[in-house]
Amino acid sequence: MSATPPVATTASAHVRPLRIVLAAFLSLAVVLGSAGPAHAVSTAEKMAVLSSFTQTSASSSNAWNAARKNQADWAAYGFDWSTDFCSASPDKPLGFDFTLSCHRHDFGYRNYKAAGAFTDTNKSLVDSAFYADLKRKCAGYSTVVRPACLSLAWTYYQAVSIFGSLASVDESDVEAAAALL
């Protein structure tokens, strides 16, 4: 004798579609409620996030990179994500890829300048984060070539430290650099 499933009663047949409709309605309400306009970001909030994205730690660098990959999520902050990477210097000197480090450095400079907060302290912070990023990048290369990478990292850091902002470059700095050529 074969067992046949029981036939749904009239009451349970109506309850199931009602639950499905109710669940769909609640899901739609949640989606529409969260799709509203983002709250306006205050200057203090923007500066706090900018500061968190320009620290020397690996976690700061990773947080910035995650945000860079999801810029739409950060649109309310009005960040400038543009870059010329390592400017006039090679992005990959001797094959060492400094591209992402240069991008984060540009992010720091451009956004502190746009906020009117490109002080000596913030410039030094962004430059130090740049150097930390470069050293972390170099740590990923073999011990045979790492010294060359670290030497280039130091050179790139010194260049931005001295020449990173036209406002921070004295005529004597330009003359001293010319004398080295």
Residues marked as catalytic: 105
Return the DSSP state at 72. G
CA-only gyration radius of the chain, Å: 27
The SS3 call for residue 1 is coil
Is residue 99 within 8 A of residue 92, CB to CB? The reply is: yes
Both tokens assigned to 82: 């543009």
- Quote the CA–CA distance of 173 and 175 in Å, as a whole number: 5
- Quote the CA–CA distance of 81 and 110 in Å, as a whole number: 8
At position 97, the amino acid (one-letter code) is: D
Q: How open is the CA angle 140-129-162, to the nearest 5 degrees? A: 110
At residue 126, φ and ψ (nearest 5 deg) are: -65, -40
35 CB burial (10 A radius; 0-12, 13-18, 19+): exposed
